[in-house]
Amino acid sequence: MPVRFDGRVAVVTGAGSGLGRSHALLLASRGARVVVNDLGGAVDGSGRSNTAADRVVAEIEASGGTAAANYDSVSDPAGAERLVAGALERFGRLDILVNNAGILRDKTFAKMELADFRAVVDVHLLGAVYCTRAAWPHMKERNYGRIVMTSSGAGLYGNFGQSNYGAAKMALVGLMNVVKLEGAKNGILVNTVAPIAATRMTEELMPKHALPHLKSEYVSAAVAYLCSDVCQVSGHVISAGAGYFARTQMMEGQGVFIEDGAAADPDAVAAAYDRISDLSHATPFASAPEYIDKVLGRFA
For 87-134, write each residue's pLDDT tens digit. Answer: 999 999 999 999 999 999 999 999 999 999 999 999 999 999 999 999
CA distance 101 to 123: 7
Res. 213: pLDDT tops 90:
no
Res. 208: pLDDT tops 70:
no
Neighbours of 285 (CB within 10 A): 16
Domain locations in the chain? 9-248, 261-299
Q: What is the mean pLDDT of residues 158-169?
A: 95
pLDDT of residue 198: 58
pLDDT of residue 214: 66
Mean pLDDT of the chain: 93
Phi first, then psi, for residue 244 (nearest 5°) are: -105, 135
CA distance 153 to 169: 8
Res. 203: pLDDT tops 60:
no
Q: What is the mean pLDDT of residues 39-62?
A: 94
Q: Which amino acid is at 170?
A: M
Question: In angstroms, how far is CA 110 from the centroid of its own chain?
Answer: 27
Whole-model pTM: value is: 0.94
pLDDT of residue 215: 77
Res. 259: pLDDT tops 60:
yes
pLDDT band at 170 (very low <50, low <70, confident <90, very high): very high
Q: What is 9-248's CATH number, 3.40.50.720, 2.60.40.10, 3.40.710.10, 1.20.990.10?
A: 3.40.50.720
Question: Of all residues in the chain, what percent carry a pLDDT higher than 70?
Answer: 93
For 183-195, write each residue's pLDDT tens digit. Answer: 999 999 999 999 9
pLDDT of residue 95: 98
CA distance 167 to 136: 24
Q: Select the more confidently predicted residue: 262 or 148.
A: 148
Q: Do 44 and 104 contact (CB within 8 A), yes or no?
A: yes
Of the listed 71, 130, 144, 165, which one is catalytic?
165
Residues in the chain: 300
Longest CA–CA span in the chain (Å) reads: 72
Q: Select the more confidently predicted residue: 109 or 294.
A: 109
Specify whether 218 is catalytic. no
Q: What is the mean pLDDT of residues 131-148?
A: 98
